[in-house]
Amino acid sequence: VLRALATPTIGHLDPAFGELMEEVAARLRSVFGTANRATLPVSGTGSAGMQAMVDNCVWPGERVVVGVAGAFGERMADALSRRGADVVRVEAAAWGRAIPIGDLVAALGSGADALFVVHGETSTGVLQPLDGLGEACAAAGALFMIDCVTSLAGAPLAVDEAGVDVAFSGTQKCLNCPPGLAPLTMSDRAVERLLGRDGPVPSWYFDLRAILAYWRSEVAGAPPRAYHHTAPINMVYGLHEALGLVLAEGLDERWERHRRAHDALRAALLCYGLERIAPAGEELVSLLAVSVPSGLSDEAAVRRALLLDHGIEISGGLGPLAGRAWRVGVMGEGARQEPQERLVSALGALLGASAAERRAAADALAHNWDTSVTHM
């Protein structure tokens, strides 16, 4: 991917770049599991995808049900409030838990224009189940919108099958590319709703009516490919390569590898007494969030030593989990045995684990990888 990023830059209206854009859009469709024509990488990081979704799919005064179970649900509720939406919050019992589907459906019941949930909540390591939400939204006439920044290409997701109308992601998580683009997909229903709206989209930069005309010339009603802004050419090269790698591995195989990596790391960290926060069935495979050991006075010092002495970065908790959680990425090339071995070994040393505990952790990791189906 880094080599692809260094490919000599060409002009963004060069026909060769146009072909690359078509290929990137086609690869994104495969990875999202969608036939949506309106599928493209928004210029900017994952939050640019969020802003594009908010600005183009929600109009002031509309009632939007928002699942809030962590920092990224909170961020969306904030962005929607700034847009002037009537935000109906539906919360999980606590950070570290999924939101009951019944609560989300019940909130839709009284009428809503849209429903939003974070599929993979990076702040808690929880995967929000989507079962039944697509049907409930279709019945209520609401757009079904999701954030799949941390789940796309790491956890099973097929946008069309789930009845999702609008989804955004980021390049730097399970797509294994540097940050800088926000893959986004929109159903025909969502595009039609946008094209039928009166008045301008509030942000010039994220106006998808114009951006769709730049990215997808054959979207209904759109004029031929027309300049809007200069695409970040080299990032598009990088994403093209990253998507190619995802598809060469195979989505099912990639999801399976992330699952195996999650289970292996979880089993190893349990040997140090580090318990996963998410209960079984609600875990986000691409992010393992564990409770910090109760006797540890300075958890940040451990993370600092991991980074400075071992070159391994893990994250601390956010919001109510600040100081109480460690969040370990199990994403892309991080979801491999070798980096996990280094982490388990370094953490064992920093936590002062006994030789027996360290051996048990290494064995648990190896055992979980060995019992796996394939090695890439």
Ligand X SMILES: Cc1ncc(COP(=O)(O)O)c(C=O)c1O
Residues that bind ligand X (CB under 6 A): 45-47, 72, 118, 120, 122, 147, 149-150, 170, 179
Rank residues 75 and 225 by Cβ distance to ligand X and give the closer one.
Answer: 75
Which letter does DSSP use for residue 229 in this model? Answer: S
State the minimum distance, in angstroms, from the CB of residue 353 to ligand X. Answer: 30
Question: From CA 60, how far away is CA 52, in angstroms rounded?
Answer: 15
Which residue has the closest beta carbon to ligand X? 46
For the chain, how many helices (H) and strands (E)? 13, 12
Rounded least distance, CB 182 to ligand X, Å: 7
Shortest Å distance, C-beta 68 to ligand X? 12
Residue closer to ligand X (CB basis): 127 or 302:
127
Nearest residue to 167 (alpha-carbon basis) of 233, 234, 92, 117: 117
191 token code pair: 């595009």
Backbone angles phi, psi at 256, to 5 degrees: -65, -40
Residue among 43 and 47 whose Cβ is closer to ligand X: 47
List, in order, residues 6 or more apart from 236 with CB less than 8 Å away. Answer: 17, 20, 21, 24, 41, 181
Nearer to ligand X by Cβ, of 7 and 45: the residue is 45
Least distance to ligand X from the beta carbon of 363, Å?
32
What's the gap between Cα 73 and its chain centre?
A: 12
Smallest distance from the beta carbon of 72 to ligand X, in angstroms? 4
**Residue pair 146/133 in contact by the 8 Å Cβ criterion:** no
Q: Which is nearer to ligand X, 18 or 156 (CB)?
A: 156
Kind of pairing, strands 287-291 and 63-68? unpaired
